[in-house]
Amino acid sequence: MSSRTEKPKVILLFGATGVGKTALLGRMFSQGVELVSADALQIYRQLDIGTAKPDTEILSRIPHHLINILDYSESFSVGDFCTRADEAVQEILQRGNIPILSGGTAYYLKSWLLGMPATPVSNPQLRGALELKWADKSDDELKKELELIDPVSADRISRGDRYRMLRALEVHLQSGRSLSSYKVPDTPREDYQVLSIGLKRERSELYHRINQRVEKMFEEGLAEEVAALRNQGAIREHPGMKAIGYREWFGEPGEPVPDAAAVKELIARNTRRYAKRQITFFSSLPEVHWFDASEDSGVPGGIISLIDDYLKNNTIRIT
């Protein structure tokens, strides 16, 4: 297509955990849009409370994609996300609706928007050998190993994300290069006209909201949800159980499992640290329209007019 305005339109809406993305979507849109979830945890069935999935009212009003698509024992890579997100976007556009990619998994969104680095294709045999080698080692031991060969990736990847840490080790063994040496493209893809909207809050306000969110998760039965999953056979090595909100219940290998009060503090602390990394990561994305999500109206000033201007003749209703 020769003109930018002729390209299919896609909206990206993102921000740190607890900033208010889901609430904003629920207030703004009533028809004509479908959401593609960019959340590495909401893909898992049965992980509901700890992942803060949208409530049934929003799910029934706005069609959602890439939520509840896998069992917690299954892996899902950034490459998988980009492939499935592209498929969902095309289906939404064919229905005449506007796709909104929204979530807090920054490397999903960045990879979809800018493209994937040209890293070696994963080798199942090598990957299996690495998983076996590190199966009985702690997250801290794995992270220290990664720091020796790729300190940049070690700093980027959270301690509990064994999947990505093992991938970094795998790339190094395959190529002799660090994963971080493979650079992500720095210009947005050209097949869509993308509107990127970022939400932010003052750090102290965001952290307060995170603490409140964790309290609410416990009130809603997070401990019981995790207990039910463990009774079904969930173990700390399962990909879904490595997520913040779940991994804290398993403790470290060889150490006693912390009590509920300690788990609550760990989840809140780990979520605040994760939010800090999200803020840094999202700040690297190009051409973002940033809005303060803390305005009393519930819809930050300027977002409606920005989207109205962007959509123009599309039949989207903003409430």
- pLDDT tens for each residue of the chain, 319 residues long: 444 457 999 999 999 999 999 988 888 887 899 999 999 999 999 999 999 999 888 988 999 999 999 999 998 988 899 999 999 999 999 999 999 999 999 999 999 999 987 888 888 889 889 989 998 888 889 999 999 999 999 988 877 788 889 999 999 999 999 998 988 788 899 899 999 999 999 999 999 999 999 999 999 999 999 999 999 999 988 999 989 999 999 987 667 778 999 999 999 999 999 999 999 999 989 999 999 998 665 677 789 889 989 988 665 555 5
DSSP string for 78-121 = HHHHHHHHHHHHHHHHHTTPEEEEEES-HHHHHHHHH----PPP
In single-letter form, the type of residue at position 9 comes to K
Span 124-181: which CATH code? 1.10.20.140
Q: What is the dihedral of CA 144, 147, 149, 155, to 10 degrees?
A: 140
138 backbone dihedrals φ, ψ, rounded to 5°: -80, 165
Domain ranges of the chain: 4-116+184-318, 124-181
Q: What's this model's pTM, rounded to 2 decimal places? A: 0.81
pLDDT of res. 1: 40
pLDDT of res. 3: 46
Sign of CA dihedral 274, 111, 94, 13: positive
Architecture of 4-116+184-318 per CATH? Answer: 3-Layer(aba) Sandwich (3.40)
217 backbone dihedrals φ, ψ, rounded to 5°: -60, -40
pLDDT of res. 311: 87
Helix axes 106-114, 260-282, angle to 10 degrees: 20
